[in-house]
Amino acid sequence: MFKARLIRLDDQAHEHTHDHHQLVLSLAGRAEFEVNGRGGEVCRMRACLVPGDADHQFAGMGDNRMLIVDLDEQGTSREDLDLLTHLFETPRYPQLDADFQNLLNYAGAELERYGSDPMLARSLGGVLLRALHLRLFGEQSSRNHGPLDLERLDAYIGEHLVRRISVAELAQVACLSPSHFHVQFKDSVGLTPHQYLLKTRLDRAARLLRESDLALIRIAEECGFSSQSALTTAMRRYLGLTPKRLRIAQ
């Protein structure tokens, strides 16, 4: 049985265990999780899959709005049980592509308006889980055997992240035409090259904010943002938190 609900996670750390699986998604803001010792964050670009009976700790980071799907295996069809087994075999923090984020926005709006309808909550929870399952497993063979050398691309991006990197440049590294590269990259990664570059810049900026005392303007420069303001705008939009609040929250 799937049940979807909206909630704000407060800043105080909580620790508990429950016997049902749980999918945690962010409509706004972010939260930090640790599931069976594996840490990660929930934000617009990343979800969290909490297996049943897993020890987990979590805390919201500032203003946030989470969509949580609770999954009780009782009364669940065989097909859905197989889906849950795949998804919740281990704790995961899957990346979310733009299409999934649009689906999430729709589900959040419907729950905000009709959340008291249990049939709608169950249906929306099932749709979100199936869409996530397809991204993680339905396209797995093409990801594993695609023509792109993702390790080489990641190394190139990491080496040149301080400056602007064009899609044509990455296509050249992959020895593909820009149009072919764009299609192959999205099929392999689930994000467009531009979305992936932005995620990489934000991930590095967040790590530097947590682990260093560098000035914000220096972090912006090292992560390839045109200005401190550009970094702040991107973090507020995609992580729901400004750089200063992220640093203070650590």
pTM for the full model? 0.59
Per the CB < 8 A criterion, the answer to whether 128 and 22 are in contact is no
**Residue 142 confidence (pLDDT):** 39
**Residue 51 confidence (pLDDT):** 92
What are the 10-residue block averages of pLDDT along the chain, 250 residues in total?
87 87 94 92 93 91 93 72 83 90 95 90 90 78 57 92 92 84 87 92 90 91 92 88 78
**Residue 76 confidence (pLDDT):** 67
**Residue 18 confidence (pLDDT):** 86
Closest Cα partner for 6 from 93, 108, 102, 143? 108
Domain 2-138 has CATH 2.60.120.280: yes
Closest Cα partner for 41 from 189, 210, 184? 210
Task: Label residue 237 exposed, middle or buried (CB < 10 Å: 0-12, 13-18, 19+).
Answer: exposed
Distances (CA, A) of 244 to 180, 194, 206, 240, 241: 39, 25, 11, 12, 8
**Residue 107 confidence (pLDDT):** 95
Per the CB < 8 A criterion, the answer to whether 43 and 67 are in contact is no
Q: How far apart are CA 194 and CA 164, in angstroms?
A: 11
CATH for the 145-249 domain, from 3.40.50.620, 1.10.10.60, 1.10.760.10, 1.10.1060.10: 1.10.10.60
Render the burial of 123-162: b for 16+ CB within 10 Å, e for the rest.
ebbbbbbebbbebbeeeeeebeeeebeeeebeebbeeebe
Cβ neighbour number for residue 177 with a 10 Å cutoff: 13
**Residue 140 confidence (pLDDT):** 44
Q: How far apart are CA 102 and CA 121, in angstroms?
A: 17
**Residue 147 confidence (pLDDT):** 63
**Residue 141 confidence (pLDDT):** 39
Q: What are phi and psi of 31, to 5 degrees?
A: -150, 155
Residue whose entry in the numeric block shows the structure tokens 């087994």: 85
Q: Where are the domains of the chain?
A: 2-138, 145-249
Q: Which residues pair with 245 in a beta bridge?
A: none
Domains 2-138 and 145-249 share a fold: no
Counting other chains too, the contacts that 202-210 makes at CB distance below 8 Å and 24 or more residues apart are: 202/45, 202/234, 202/235, 202/238, 202/239, 204/161, 205/231, 205/235, 205/243, 206/235, 206/239, 206/246, 209/243, 209/246, 209/247, 209/250, 210/246, 210/247, 210/250
Structure tokens at 127: 């749709």
Q: How far apart are CA 86 and CA 218, in angstroms?
A: 42
